Amino acid sequence: MKELSGYLLRRFGWMLFTVWAVYTVSFVLMRLVPGNPFSSERTVPPAIERQLRARYNLDAPPIEQYTDYLVGILTRFDLGVSIRLEDYTVNEVLAEGFPVSASLAILALVFAITLGVTAGVISAVYRGTFADLSMMATAVLGIAIPNFVLASLAILLFVFMVPIFPAAGWGTLKQVMLPALCLGSPVAAYIARLTRAGMLEVLSKEHVRTAFAKGLPKRSVILRHVLPGALLPVVSYLGPATASVLTGSLVLEKIFALPGIGSHFIYAATQRDYTLAMGMVLTYTVLLFVMNTLVDVSYAIIDPRVKLE
Amino acid sequence: MPLELRRAFVILTLVMIAVAVVWATRFDAMPPAEFSLQNGTDPKTLDPHRATGSPESRILFNAFSGLLQMLPDGEPDPETGLQPMSAQPAVAKSYEVADDKLTYTFHLRDDAMWSDGTPITSRDFVWSWTRMLHPGTACEYNFQLFSLPNAQAFSTGVVEVGDRVEVELWDRPFPDGRREDEVGEANIQNFPRGTMLYGTLKEIRKPPEPDIDPEIDDNANADLMGQWQESWVYVVDIAEVEEDGPDTSVLWEEVVSTQTFCANPSSPIADEKTARIHNVLVAFDQLGALETPDDQTLIVHLKDPLPYFPSLTAYYPLFPVPKHCIEEYGMPMWTKPENIVSNGPYVVGLRRLRDRVRLVKNPRWFDADSVAIETIDALSTEGQNTALNMYETGQLDWVTDPPGALMETLRERDDFYAAPMLSLYFYRINTTRKPLDDPRIRRAIAMAINRTQIVEQVTKAGQVPAYSLVPPGIAGYQSPPGLEPDLDRAKALLAEAGYPGGRGIPKITILYNTSEGHRAIAEVIQQQLQNTLNIKLELQNMEWGSFLDKTNQIDYDIARAGWIADYADPNTFLDLWVTGGPQNSTGWSNPVFDGLIQQAAAETDARTRMELLAKAESIWIEEMPVIPVYFYVGINMVKPRVEGFFPSPQDIHPFQLLKTRDPESVR
């Protein structure tokens, strides 16, 4: 336990450092890019632009902007007012969009794990059969096809040809199913391949052979002795999987018109909404860091050979 | 780690996953609205003085009402189906124009009220228009009121010695009741009011001007100048103010005292008696531009006889905003659905980012009985294909941006409306760079571009080839003949300019913001000019922000652009190109053109005015600082079950005129 809390504390320290580094790099990059939040096709008169810059503290010396904003984030978790969506603070934008993105990611991941592990186990147990081959071929396709292509196909199939799902939008369970499937499929495909490889490796281990030799039923050997070991690579893949689900949702949110935070990410960057872009970058940083830490911790708990360092 | 703990961990993880799934699949069911439309994207703001784009305007035109409103007038054009619109009574039940065309008297309805029941008075308009013009509001459409005396000086913050000015002390109240001078922090708001003093500006004391270093960038220099201006000390003879109920009148001749003011308390030339202020501005609202003899009468004095002034009052920047609501909640809280008070046929019921704005019928609107649809959802759907999918499956009733790739198929359908719009797609030319500084080359290029090919093979939605600047369809205006394509003439001009057969012309670059549509058009033009005039063009695309930067700094050869009419008058297209105009960005300047535009602004006779503008346009065509490509069409797809939808010249579609054929059927 002491080991664990020490580890978490160290990781927390690293996270603060990472956040600071990401903040600094983003801050500098954003101000180096040509254009500014107030540029539009209709040129803003200089007097008005000065007023706007003052409103968002952009007229202060850069170093002052840098520290003021950082202090606000650290002491009050205040990410400021969105420059482009001016009726909203960045915190409000996150509060509205994050639950949507989170629901989508959770459903996609749960779907991916369930489908991926099942398919992996079946194809490893029935190695070399038609079922194995077809499932692994599907998995390769699943990894190769980008999710927006999959989304278009899925819409064609399940919205127009067999109308069971609505075309887009947010608010009912039916509306979230299709995007979650499209988002989870590539991850499921990858997990299936990882599970199959892990299963095959463990199946050839001596303790498994012993278990079979003792006459244990196949089912309990697979579930109790093979699967736990085979799932280790899957667990370690969950960190990157979360990342891919979160970033993959940027495209799907547009295709399915979902009110998540992904689309804000793109808009904040292209419209030079400094505060919103910063809020997005930092949120994703923290999120990915936390997810990776959780994965590492659970990895150590599942596999006694792994030490937290 | 002990085995029990590992087991416990596995169970805990499973429980957590179960909880997460349950949480993720719970939704607040919301009944669909009676009518929903694709609004393109989220409105950036619901503050009429801060909004600019069309997603905002669709909401604001229906959540607020101005003095007048744009409504159908006359029969639709038999050829295009375009329904002419004109400014008709809204909050004002009638108005009169004086003979000199400089004084408008608006008579407000007795029953006009805000959605919370507060009556709307003429003072609301004075306050709203002053707020719209105030530099702190930074309204991009402030120029729409620049025909009022002192409005431009007030809005741009220019003061001169001898001006009658207002001084806003640095004591703006915060929503919690404390004041700036107590908190020590500035309250940056759209038009807040601290203590106001009025008087005559006697002197401006300035510290030495900072050196402008041309090596460093413009922004840094602008900051430097801004800081310098903040350290000016203003000496003002403060006048006596007489309070008379809600009105204040300033007795300019009665000087009470002489005080000094400065925006920067640590200015080197300020002394301890210098009071800290926000601004010293020309006292716009005290100098008689607007008069309110009673609650129902608003008198507007103009300095130029603008024939289109009534239609400006039907445009959302001039709509009234609720003073009581803004003062109570401030920015950005007053535009939240739970706080916002408006005065249109609809009120904002719900707003979810990236999802929708729900409009609910406003029972307190003066003509609420005629509003048929109770709830309207403006969905922030951006994807063109997504919107079409939703339309086809019944989730949307009105698509405002159908996919370009399907235009040919969609055009054939009965629910497809395309009609000319007052807007132009064009290419700016950098007239300061060789060889494009020669009008002959610009004319040659313009004459060699085959616009028919572009509208028929690229844009495909029925756009109209453009050879002149002002789109057809403005009553009383006839554009002079444009530069029709003429290859022989173009070749001759090129030879005359010293490049026979296109030999010797350096490579010219077309700059456009990254988009499939813009690229396709640029490619066609590239090919046409290569084949006909032997002019080699290079294409360069840039992401929006960088593209705007390049254009504004006139750092390009040819750059694409578009312009949508701000009001139905040729002036909105012509005054873009006056010398040094903020949208000019071509470096083009022609004193005769500038003179004609000025003359037209002061002309009281409508016909002579239009003739002057046409003369200016013919100079523009002769010089071709910009190549017109095509006039846009407004494209909409609306379900047959909807009545009351018609194409209009500015693509304005009042929601209160819409009806669903079967009001019982929700969908």
Among B389, B547, B584, the strongest candidate for a mutation testing the A interface, having the largest count of A CBs within 10 A, is: B389
Closest-CA distance, A61 to chain B, in angstroms, reads: 9
- Which of A87, A172, A255, A271 to probe by mutation at the B interface, max B CB count within 10 Å? A87
- In chain A, the residue whose alpha carbon lies closest to the alpha carbon of B188 is A55
CB contact under 8 A, B24 and A259: no
Work out the number of other CB atoms within 10 angstroms of the CB of residue B642.
17
What is the count of residue pairs from A and B with beta carbons less than 8 Å apart?
183
Nearest-CA distance B58 → chain A (Å)? 17
| Range with lowest mean pLDDT among A109-113, B467-471, B545-549, B598-602 | B545-549
User: How confident is the model over A244-272, as a mean pLDDT?
Assistant: 85
Q: For residue B37, give both structure tokens.
A: 């439309």
Q: Are A168 and B395 in contact (CB < 8 Å)?
A: yes
Nearest to B389 among A43, A168, A271 (CB): A168
- Span B67-87, average pLDDT: 87
Q: Which of A110, A255, A270 sits opposite B21 (nearest CB)?
A: A110
Contact A167 B389 (CB under 8 A): yes
pLDDT over threshold 60, residue B665: no
pLDDT of residue A225 exceeding 80, the answer is: yes
What is the overall mean pLDDT for chain B?
89
Question: What confidence tens digit (pLDDT) does each residue in A62-119 have?
Answer: 888 898 888 888 888 888 888 888 889 999 999 998 999 999 999 999 999 999 999 9
pLDDT given for residue A77 in this prediction: 86
Mean pLDDT of B237-246: 84
A129 to chain B, minimum CA–CA distance in Å?
A: 32
Distance CA A52, CA B137 (A): 9
The shortest C-alpha distance from A36 to chain B (Å) reads 7
Spell out which residues of chain B touch residue A33, defining contact as CB-CB under 8 Å.
545-546
Three-class secondary structure assignment of A84-124:
CCCCCEHHHHHHHHHHHHHHHHHHHHHHHHHHHHHHHHHHH
Task: For residue A263, give the chain B residue with the closest CA.
Answer: B354
Contact B562 A97 (CB under 8 A): no
CA distance B73 to B81: 13
For B433, the token pair is 């760079």
The helix or strand, by DSSP H or E, that contains position B465, with its residue range, turns out to be strand B464-465
CB hemisphere CA count around B14 (13 angstroms):
7
Contact at CB, A40 and B52, closer than 8 angstroms: yes
Rounded-to-integer distance, Cα A86 and Cα B45, Å: 6
Residue A32: the pLDDT is: 86
% of chain A beyond a pLDDT of 70: 96
pLDDT in tens, A186-196: 999 999 999 99
d(CA B344, CA B371): 11
Nearest-CB residue to A54 (from B188, B552, B562)? B188
Mean pLDDT along residues B263-272 = 84
Q: Is A168 on the interface with B (CB under 8 A)?
A: yes
The tokens for B223 are 């900051």
Q: What is the pLDDT of residue A1?
A: 67
Which residue from B332, B355, B545 is facing A33, i.e. has the nearest CB?
B545
pLDDT of residue A104: 92
- Contact criterion met (CB below 8 Å) for B643 and B663: no
pLDDT score of B393 more than 60:
yes
Degrees, nearest 5: CA angle B493-B495-B500: 140
User: B192: pLDDT confidence band, cut at 50, 70 and 90?
Assistant: low
Residue of B nearest to A59 (CA): B223
Residue B594 sits at the chain A interface (C-beta within 8 Å):
no
Cβ A45–B27 below 8 Å, yes or no? no
What is the pLDDT at residue B424?
Answer: 94
Pairing relationship of beta strands B164-169 and B558-564 according to DSSP bridges? unpaired
HSE on the CB side for B23, CA within 13 Å?
14
Asked if the model's pLDDT at residue B229 lies above 50, the reply is yes
User: What is the gyration radius of the CA atoms in chain A, in angstroms?
Assistant: 24
Give the C-alpha separation, B316 to B322, whole Å. Answer: 14
Q: Which of residues 52-91 of B touch A (CB under 8 A)?
A: 52
Residue with tokens 């025909």: B147
Whether residue B29 and residue A172 make contact (CB cut-off 8 A), yes or no, is yes
Neighbours of B544 (CB within 10 A): 17
Q: What is the pLDDT of residues B430-448, one digit of tens each?
A: 999 888 999 999 999 999 9
* pLDDT, tens only, A115-171: 999 999 999 999 989 999 999 999 999 889 888 899 999 999 999 999 999 998 888
B624-650: pLDDT as tens digits: 999 999 999 989 999 999 989 999 888
Interchain CB distance below 8 Å, B13 and A298: yes
Could B140 and A93 be called an inter-chain contact, meaning their C-beta atoms sit closer than 8 Å? no
State residue A250's pLDDT score.
84
Could you tell me the sign of the dihedral formed by the alpha carbons of B559, B565, B570, B574, in that order? negative
Question: A309: which residues sit within 8 A by CB, 6+ positions away?
Answer: A7
Q: B389 and A159 in contact by Cβ < 8 A?
A: yes
Q: Per-residue pLDDT averaged across B305-323, rounded?
A: 92
The closest CB to that of B355, out of A47, A93, A259, belongs to A259
Residue A85 has its nearest CB partner, among B44, B188, B331, at B44
Whether B628 and B645 have beta carbons less than 8 Å apart is answered as: no
The verdict on B390 touching A (C-beta cutoff 8 Å) is yes
What is the pLDDT, as a whole number, of residue A114?
Answer: 94
pLDDT above 90 for B662: no
- Neighboring chain A residues of B426 at a CB cutoff of 8 Å: none
pLDDT, residue A182, reads 93
Under 8 Å between Cβ of B112 and B366:
yes
- Average pLDDT on B505-518 reads 89
CB-based contact B521:B515 (threshold 8 Å): no
Task: Determine the pLDDT at residue B667.
Answer: 45
- Whole-angstrom CA distances from A185 to A142, A255, B268 are 6, 16, 67
pLDDT at B1: 56
pLDDT single digits (tens) B360-377: 999 999 999 999 999 999
What's the pLDDT at B2?
67
Cα R_g (chain B), whole angstroms: 28
With bands split at pLDDT 50, 70 and 90, how would you rate the model's confidence at B319?
very high
Average pLDDT on B466-472 reads 92
- With CA atoms as reference, the chain B residue closest to A105 would be B24
pLDDT at B666: 46
The answer to whether the CB of A218 falls within 8 A of the CB of A267 is no
Q: A78-96 as b/e, with b when 16 or more CB fall inside 10 Å? A: ebbbbbbbbbbbbbbbbeb
Q: Which of B20, B30, B393 sits opposite A171 (nearest CB)?
A: B30
Closest Cα in chain B to A111: B21
pLDDT of residue B292: 92
* Average pLDDT score over residue span B131-147: 88
Distance CA B415, CA B647 (A): 12
CB contact under 8 A, A257 and B380: yes
Chain B residue whose CA is closest to A48: B138
Q: How far is it, in rounded angstroms, from Cα B212 to Cα B51? A: 34
Q: B354 vs A253: CB contact, 8 Å cut-off? A: yes
Q: From CA A49, how far away is CA A44, in angstroms rounded?
A: 6
Amino acid B442: pLDDT: 93
How would you classify the pairing of strands B233-244 and B92-97? unpaired
pLDDT for res B200: 93
Lowest mean pLDDT among A262-266, B84-88, B129-133: A262-266
Q: Does B25 touch chain A (CB under 8 A)?
A: yes
